[in-house]
């Protein structure tokens, strides 16, 4: 089995500051967290940007630039920037990072879905910032847009800038979307994909759901003809699906973007803690951890 690539999703755009005091927000915090996650075994840092004062997701290229430069100063971890951005951002805002910074990798969301964060709002007693409640509740009437027009545009942009797309698959239908882009030669093999499991609006996060995604991928793209990673959104799904994925030879993502707990009811204090937990699980299951350079080889990065 190839070594395990651990990705750390440092801050995202779906966790709000009122959920946890440990959410990295400033470029410095995001960079320090990325370097610490690398020291704990992460080979990839998946990066979003936030407004330093309010913690709100932003598409600001200046903030992305500071984050990317600070990370590069501290670590040779692979930088994987989001093209998913945050709720309400336009496709152009979301994809601008690709042409500007030409990161080694970037996320590529493989279809439109409802993206329901509104149930989180009900669990927060006191909001730190005025934007948070509206942001969460607005997702009851939000479609995370990724039409075929958008998919072809994002694909072409990544290809033009030699950025390796990480295909974020929120449901089984999106596996067929990727097969279409492959057939139309927008996408080039070998694909690298990530099953995003447990988003309200996408596929669930049970072991059965994961087996179904994997078996459908084998049927569509050919067994062992692609690399794959898994996100279990929330606790304990992040670690349950990670354990199953580690046994199956896939790669895993952890991080405060997707999960804020290190154990039942206990907030994680950092991304590094989440990485260390999944590294412990991997070690117990005899799966070795890939360094950033080993991950570059596995993923065929430039
Ligand atoms: N927020 C995650 C559920 C992206 O940034 O483009 C999926 C994600 C997508 O990370
Ligand atoms: Zn993301």
pLDDT at residue 269 in the model = 98
How far apart, in whole angstroms, are the C-alpha atoms of residue 10 and residue 70?
Answer: 14
Tell me, using a 6 A CB cutoff, whether residue 139 lines ligand 1. Answer: no
Tell me, using a 6 A CB cutoff, whether residue 146 lines ligand 1. Answer: no
- Look up tokens 């509206």; give the residue: 134
pLDDT at residue 32 in the model = 98
**Ligand 1 atom nearest to 231, measured from its CA:** 3
Query: Using the 8-state DSSP alphabet, how is residue 228 labeled?
Result: E
| Residue 91 Cα distances to 81, 122, 135, angstroms | 14, 29, 18
pLDDT at residue 244 in the model = 98
- Look up tokens 């005025």; give the residue: 130
Residue 142, pLDDT > 90, answer yes
For residues 19-30, average pLDDT? 98
pLDDT in tens, 120-138: 999 999 999 999 999 999 9
Overall size of the chain counted in residues: 302
Question: What are the φ and ψ backbone dihedral angles of 90, each rounded to 5 degrees?
Answer: -75, 165
This model's pTM is above 0.75: yes
Residue 76, pLDDT > 80, answer yes
Tell me, using a 6 A CB cutoff, whether residue 121 lines ligand 1. Answer: no
Name the pLDDT band for 187 (thresholds 50, 70, 90): very high
pLDDT at residue 302 in the model = 77
Give, using CA atoms, the residue closest to atom 9 of ligand 1: 84
Give 142 Cα–ligand 1 centroid separation in angstroms: 15
| Residue 261 Cα distances to 45, 50, 197, angstroms | 19, 21, 17
Q: Take residue 28 and report the two structure tokens written for it.
A: 């410095």
Q: Take residue 239 and report the two structure tokens written for it.
A: 């670690």
Closest ligand to 231 CA? Answer: 1
Which residues neighbour ligand 2 (ion) by CB within 5 Å?
12, 82
Among 163, 258, 259, 260, which is best to mutate for testing ligand 1, by the most ligand atoms less than 8 A from CB?
258
Give 128 Cα–ligand 1 centroid separation in angstroms: 23
| Residue 14 Cα distances to 29, 50, 132, angstroms | 17, 11, 10
Give 84 Cα–ligand 1 centroid separation in angstroms: 6
Among 45, 168, 234, which is best to mutate for testing ligand 1, by the most ligand atoms less than 8 A from CB?
168
pLDDT in tens, 254-296: 999 999 999 999 999 999 999 999 999 999 999 999 999 999 9
Which residues does 112 contact at the CB level (< 8 Å), separation at least 6? 143, 144, 145, 146, 147
Give, using CA atoms, the residue closest to atom 4 of ligand 1: 84
Q: What percent of the chain has pLDDT over 70?
A: 100
Among 8, 11, 12, which is best to mutate for testing ligand 1, by the most ligand atoms less than 8 A from CB?
12
């Amino acid at each position: 089995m190839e070594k395990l690539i651990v990705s750390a999703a440092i801050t995202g755009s779906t966790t709000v500051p009122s959920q946890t005091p440990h959410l990295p927000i400033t470029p410095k915090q995001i960079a320090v967290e990325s370097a610490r996650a690398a020291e704990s075994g992460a080979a990839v840092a998946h990066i979003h940007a936030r407004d330093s004062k309010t913690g709100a997701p932003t598409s600001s290229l200046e903030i992305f630039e500071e984050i990317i430069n600070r990370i590069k100063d501290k670590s040779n971890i692979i930088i994987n920037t989001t093209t998913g951005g945050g709720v309400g951002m336009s496709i152009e805002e979301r994809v601008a990072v690709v042409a500007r910074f030409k990161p080694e990798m970037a996320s590529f969301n493989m279809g439109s879905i409802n993206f329901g964060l509104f149930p989180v709002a009900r669990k927060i007693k006191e909001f730190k910032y005025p934007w948070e409640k509206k942001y969460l509740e607005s997702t009851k009437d939000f479609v995370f847009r990724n039409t075929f027009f958008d998919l072809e545009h994002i694909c072409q942009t990544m290809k033009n800038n030699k950025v390796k797309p990480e295909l974020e698959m929120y449901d089984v239908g999106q596996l067929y979307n990727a097969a279409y882009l492959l057939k139309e030669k927008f996408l080039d093999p070998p694909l690298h994909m990530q099953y995003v499991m447990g988003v309200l609006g996408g596929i669930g996060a049970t072991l059965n759901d994961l087996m179904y995604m994997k078996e459908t991928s084998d049927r569509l793209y050919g067994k062992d003809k692609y690399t794959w990673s898994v996100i279990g959104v929330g606790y304990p799904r992040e670690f349950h699906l990670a354990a199953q994925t580690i046994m199956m030879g896939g790669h895993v993502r952890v991080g405060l973007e997707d999960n804020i707990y290190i154990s039942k009811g206990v907030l994680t204090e950092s991304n590094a803690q989440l990485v260390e937990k999944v590294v412990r699980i991997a070690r117990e299951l005899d799966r070795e951890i890939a360094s950033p350079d080993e991950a570059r080889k596995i993923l065929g990065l430039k």
